[in-house]
Structure 1
Amino acid sequence: MIRIFSLLAGAFFSLALLWSAGKGAVSYISEPTPKTVEASFHEHPKPLHLSSDGPFGTFDRQQLQRGFQVYSEVCATCHALKHVAYRDLAALGYNEAEVKAIAAKAQIPAYNPATGEVKMNPGQPKDHFPPVVYGGAGSPPDLSLVAKARHGGPAYIYSLLTGYADQAGYKNEKGEELLKKFPEAKTPDGLFFNPYFANLNIAMPAPLVSDGQVTYADGTKATVDQMAQDVSAFLMWTAEPKLEKRNQTGWPVIGFLLFATALAYMAYRTVWAGKKGH
């Protein structure tokens, strides 16, 4: 009798749990999601195809050098690369003399423990990119790992850089006009409307404002779209500089594991072939 009662109690609680889960699922599907400004007008990253994409991806050295040029001439004023050393730039195709010349343009703080003074010295290849001294409110994010830290990676960076828009008249994919649907959503003074940013309003003004903002050494036409693609590719490299080596190592490892699995299975069949039934 006690056993039957236990089974009935267990069945009751199991059914109650299933009913509760089912009700929650139905409510989630049937009830409309509350529409906020962000939910209605936030855009997902635009497609961006880089040579580093996929399991066989490799970096385009020329594009990386162009991206580094965009970073140096446009972004470096506000954003640092604290996880990158100047000697790492050799991976972009720069020779030793070029790396030394790039490093020497920077001023690296050096602390003297004897006097307590901080002296600024020209950078050397062993030095990391120095922190940015920023005079405004807050501190712009370091860009070393931003391509891995943001959902969408380089596609998000590319979309953000090319996504600044005039808020007046801006429509979402359903054709709804932002300020007509949400009059209170007007971008505050000092911020800039960008539908690819999480809350639509970003403190950073558009950094890429016109074609030809930089002059590429390889002669590539520096359109806003091209510059955004190039700096996004460069920041993908700063976030994952060992990507090529990882891809090159990964496939032989997978092949070895598959071979080892097949070998182990055949050994199992051989060892136990005459043991079954005993």
Structure 2
Amino acid sequence: MIRIGGILVGLGFAVVVLFSFVIGAYNFATEEKQGAAEYEFYKKPEKADFAHDGTLGTWDLAQLQRGYQVYKEVCAACHSLKFVAFRDLAALGYTEDEVKALAAEWQVPGIDPNTGEDILRPGSPTDNFPLVYPNNVAAAAANNNAIPPDLSLMAKARADGTNYIHSLLSGYGPIPGELKEKYPDFETPPGLYFNQYFPNLNIAMAPPIAIEDQVSYADGTKATVQQMSQDVAAFLTWTAEPKLVERKQSGLPVLGFLIFATILAYLSKQQIWAAVKPKKKG
């Protein structure tokens, strides 16, 4: 009797699961799709030409320095780099004295040695980049309830991160007529901005790079929107993975060693078993 009851319970459970599956499949096939504009008009990041791309790629130090300048003069107003230390900037080609001078341009939290009170002091090479906001509540209050993310690892946190950053920064614009014609109800709410490289097409961040010559490059490079977007994307790729080039360069010797070791092992096997004759069948 207990066995029969167990079988009936199992059958009842299977029927419920099957019924739920059928209903769910029917609703999925017949209900009107919501938010289709986001799927149809979202653009994947466009491929840009970066010096560090490819197996033999290397850092373009001039571009990384320009990217740092864009970050400092534009992005640092809202976004932190809390996992990067000022001394790390030496990898961009700056001298020790230049790193000290760059660090001193920032104000970092410190303690007054005489009173023990919290103060702000000029940064030193051993300091990390300071936080823009003391906490998420302050960040949200200053940015229409949107919390600006830390950019230290952004290039690793997004798929195709380098191209994503470059495309996003240069992808602001009006709603295309084709989208408006096909989806008349689609709109960008107040406080948001249209960007086809952002997954839901509307982003809370105002266009940070909006006009040419927003930054005056020290090396004389023309500061177009595309150029500034590409430079800061390269810089943020370096902050996310500063050993990227070294890691790729170490792969070739390792691959060569593995090929050599494989050939050596095969020749050794041939030498060891050369005197052993296979038995004839039959």
Gaps of 5+ in 2: 1-24, 134-138
Q: Which residue of 2 aligns with 1:195?
A: 196
Distance, in Å, in 1 between the alignment partners of 2:94 and 2:202 is 38
Distance, in Å, in 2 between the alignment partners of 1:116 and 1:96 is 30
Distance, in Å, in 2 between the alignment partners of 1:108 and 1:74 is 18
3-state DSSP of counterpart to 1:130 = coil
> Which AA in structure 1 matches 2:160?
G
1:216 deviates by 0.6
Distance, in Å, in 2 between the alignment partners of 1:269 and 1:71 is 60
1:195 deviates by 0.5
Aligned length: 242
Q: Which residue of 1 aligns with 2:267?
A: 266
> Which AA in structure 2 matches 1:178?
L
TM superposition score normalised by structure 2:
0.80
> Which AA in structure 2 matches 1:94?
Y
1:189 deviates by 0.5
Distance, in Å, in 2 between the alignment partners of 1:187 and 1:244 is 40
Q: Which residue of 1 aligns with 2:13?
A: none
Q: CA RMSD in A?
A: 2.4
1:157-216 CA-partner distances (Å, limit 9, x unpaired): 11111111111xx05xxxxx2123223321111000001001100000111111111111
Distance, in Å, in 2 between the alignment partners of 1:127 and 1:221 is 32
Q: How does 1:12-91 map to 2 (within 5 A)?
A: 36-91=36-91
TM superposition score normalised by structure 1:
0.81
1:146 deviates by 1.0
Answer yes or no: is 1:205 the counterpart of 2:189: no
Distance, in Å, in 1 between the alignment partners of 2:120 and 2:128 is 14
Identity across aligned pairs (percent)?
Answer: 56
Distance, in Å, in 1 between the alignment partners of 2:109 and 2:277 is 74
Gaps of 5+ in 1: 1-26, 172-176
Distance, in Å, in 2 between the alignment partners of 1:118 and 1:249 is 45
Answer yes or no: is 1:161 the counterpart of 2:162: no
Distance, in Å, in 1 between the alignment partners of 2:248 and 2:40 is 38
Q: Which residue of 1 aligns with 2:258?
A: 257
> Which AA in structure 2 matches 1:69?
Q
Q: How does 1:46-195 map to 2 (within 5 A)?
A: 46-110=46-110, 117-133=117-133, 134=139, 135-136=142-143, 137-167=145-175, 170-171=176-177, 177-195=178-196
Distance, in Å, in 1 between the alignment partners of 2:95 and 2:128 is 18
